[in-house]
Chain A
Amino acid sequence: MSTTNRSRRNFIKNTSALALGSTLPISMIELAFANSNENFTFAYISDSHIQHIKGTRFVRNWDQGLKRAVAETNLLTPKPDFVMFGGDLAQLGSKPELDHGAEILSAISNDIHYVMGEHDYYLDLGAYWEKLFGPQYYSFDHKGVHFIVLNSIRTYDEWTYNRWPSNEQRMLEMAGLDNPNGSPFMVGNEQRKWLNNDLAKIAKTTPIVVFSHSPLQKIYKGWNFWTEDAEQIQALLKPYNKVSVIYGHVHQIQYNQIGNISFHSVMATAWPWPYPSTYAQAEQYLPQLTVPMNRADPFFERDATGWQFINMANGNVDLNFTLNSNKNRSVKFNNVNKRPEDSQFQEQGSQIPPQTHY
């Protein structure tokens, strides 16, 4: 925890020296161990939605979010061991979008591990993305932690292969968050089998961090804040002592605890999304535990986007959100209550008016 504070101070000093503004939408993740020599950090950038207009033109607003995140990642002190990108690099999965996003990310002076988002996938089912970034699901070990990356945004074969007259149409149908022609996300049989085998080699005491694009829990089906086989994934992760799932897609702060698994979302660099509870016609299950982020002020382009430091003390994730134009948030694992809690706003009486969404 002391390392977190130190790195945050350094970080703020560096950025202010370069007059880059107070905050940028990336995620800083720190894994702290009992022996602080083993501590390490990684950064997390997600949901940039690079959107091609035509020719050499891209939507300026979304470009700026990713560029700021990249600039700040390079200023982090201590330097992170690696960077995660949480999916939805592109808006409509096209080569120009993925190329342009990859070029912006190429300024990062670290290795980057990528997660597949639905906006990257449904044009060519990830073919071009794989060429640029590698396999769609994989695992790696780093300093005593087992990291797993899943492609959680696949869906039923009938929808993917037989329903749409063109790949472009398929991409457009899945790109609309509220489009009733969409289809629920899922990890699927093939990856669940792979996950089972991958986990078989891992000691039950090894901390596990799973990265997915969609939440591996069910929140609201209508916007795919949802993974159809979430319970089956949770069951595979159940035997392990310390499991954290970190996901993108939702463009907002969410956290939850289900059994042994802590869930955390990360912020988008592109734009914020409303909480599903604000859609009057929706039946939704936002985790009771979550204290929402402040309502976005549309007049500030980067408002309600943000970045996080994550401190993995004793194998649990402590997540520090740094938010543009807003007070920072800190969601830490409470060892007494055995769940993540906001360090300032968890009690109902301490919440502020912008955290009430309606």
Chain B
Amino acid sequence: MFFIKLKKTVFLLSITSLFSIPFSQADEFTNSDLKRWQQQFMDSAKQGRELWASPTLGTNGVACAQCHPNAANTHPETYPKFQKQIGKVIPIWEMINWCLKNPLEGQPLAADDPKMIAIQAYITHERRGVKLEPGKH
């Protein structure tokens, strides 16, 4: 479903740009593309796992995995959600930063920091197969 829609969108985009740029096969991708993209994701998830277990992500030697083995009890499938102690709806990276600052006594990461992306890739990968339940507590 998703891919069909995507193809349509890409197709329309390519028609509009037909007159300005040379023809390109933007709507076609191969099995080796799929493999490569999956590999890109898994590389990020792997880096995320290393950060998760790393005693140097914060300043006191505490690692994320100490309290969250296999990223359990992180619930990426429920974000964005209302976090009562923060008093508003937040995305998961803000909660990750809360942990970096408090139990890990470290510095927060920017939302687009590759390390922050990698951490999210890892915890979401560990949660694969669980249905999305935004807002759930």
Q: Would B53 and A179 count as touching, CB distance under 8 A?
A: yes
* B residues near A279, Cβ cutoff 8 Å: 69-70, 72, 126
CB proximity of B57 to chain A, nearest CB, Å = 14
In the assembly, what is the distance between CA of A282 and CA of B137, in Å?
Answer: 21
| Cβ contact within 8 Å between B103 and A278 | no
Judging by beta carbons under 8 Å apart, are B62 and A274 in contact?
Answer: no
Q: Does B115 contact A (CB under 8 A)?
A: no
Contact with A along B42-71 (1 / 0, CB 8 A): 000000000001000000111001111110
Asked if A321 is an interface residue, CB under 8 A from chain B, the answer is no
Contacts of B128 in A (CB 8 A): 280-281
Question: Could you tell me which residues of chain A, from 247 to 275, have a CB within 8 Å of some CB in chain B?
Answer: 271-274
Cβ B69 vs Cβ A281 within 8 A = no
A172 to B103, CA, bound (A): 20
Q: Does A113 contact B (CB under 8 A)?
A: no
Question: Out of A52, A59, A280, which one reaches B127, CB within 8 Å?
Answer: A280
**CB < 8 Å: which of B65, B85, B102, B103 contacts A178?**
B65
Give the docked Cα–Cα distance between A297 and B98 (Å).
13
A51 contacts the other chain (Cβ, under 8 Å)? yes
Q: Does A177 contact B (CB under 8 A)?
A: yes
- Whether the pair A299, B85 counts as a contact (CB closer than 8 A) is yes
Q: Within residues 61 to 119 of chain B, which ones have a CB less than 8 A from any CB in chain A?
A: 61-62, 65-70, 72-73, 75, 85, 98-99, 102-103
Closest residue of chain A to B49, judged by CB? A178
Q: Collect the chain B residues with CB atoms within 8 Å of residue A282's CB.
A: 70
Main secondary structure of the interface of A (DSSP, over half): loop
B73 contact from A52, A179, A222, A278, Cβ within 8 A: A278
Q: Is the CB of A273 within 8 A of B67?
A: yes
Q: Which residues of A contact B53 (CB under 8 A)?
A: 176, 179
B67 proximity list for chain A (CB < 8 A): 271-273
Most chain A CB atoms below 10 A, which of B65, B69, B98, B126: B69
**Interface assignment of B22: CB less than 8 Å from any CB of chain A:** no
- Check: A298 CB closer than 8 A to any chain B CB: yes
Interface residue range, chain B: 20 to 34
B interface majority secondary structure: loop
Q: Which of A51, A178, A297, A357 contacts B70 (CB 8 A)?
A: A178
Residues of chain A within 8 A of B137, CB atoms compared: 353
Shortest CB-to-CB span from A124 to chain B, Å, is 20
Other-chain contact of A274, B60, B73, B103 (Cβ < 8 Å)? B73
Known interface pairs A271-B67, A272-B67; A51-B72 also in contact (CB < 8 Å):
no
Smallest beta-carbon distance B30→chain A, Å: 30
Instruction: Check if B26 is an interface residue, CB within 8 A of chain A.
Output: no
Chain A residues in 8 Å Cβ range of B66:
177, 271
Q: Which chain B residue lies CB-closest to A272? A: B67
A295 at the interface (CB under 8 A from B): yes
CA distance A134 to B67 in the complex (A): 30
Smallest Cβ-Cβ distance to B128: which chain A residue: A280
- Selected from A59, A274, A295, A358, the residue in CB contact (under 8 A) with B69 is A274
Chain A residue with minimal CB distance to B68?
A274
Docked-complex contact B69 and A223, CB < 8 angstroms: yes
**CB atoms of A53 and B69 under 8 A apart:** no
Point out the residues of chain B lying under 8 angstroms from A53, CB to CB: 60-61
Tell me if A61 counts as interface (CB < 8 A to partner B).
yes
Measured between beta carbons, the chain A residues less than 8 angstroms from B73 are 274, 278, 295-296, 357
Q: Which residues of B contact A223 (CB under 8 A)?
A: 69
| Nearest-CB residue, chain A, relative to B129 | A280
Interchain CA distance A177-B70 in the complex, whole Å: 9
B21 at the interface (CB under 8 A from A): no
Question: For the complex, what is the distance from the CA of A358 to the CA of B75, rounded to whole Å?
Answer: 8
Can you add 11 more A-B contacts, CB < 8 Å, to A51-B61, A281-B70?
A59-B61, A59-B62, A60-B60, A178-B65, A271-B67, A273-B67, A274-B73, A278-B72, A279-B70, A280-B126, A281-B126
9 smallest beta-carbon distances between A and B, as pairs: A178-B69, A274-B72, A274-B73, A299-B85, A177-B69, A279-B72, A178-B70, A278-B72, A279-B70
User: What are 9 A-B pairs with beta-carbon distances under 8 A?
Assistant: A51-B60, A177-B69, A273-B67, A273-B69, A274-B72, A274-B73, A279-B69, A279-B70, A280-B128
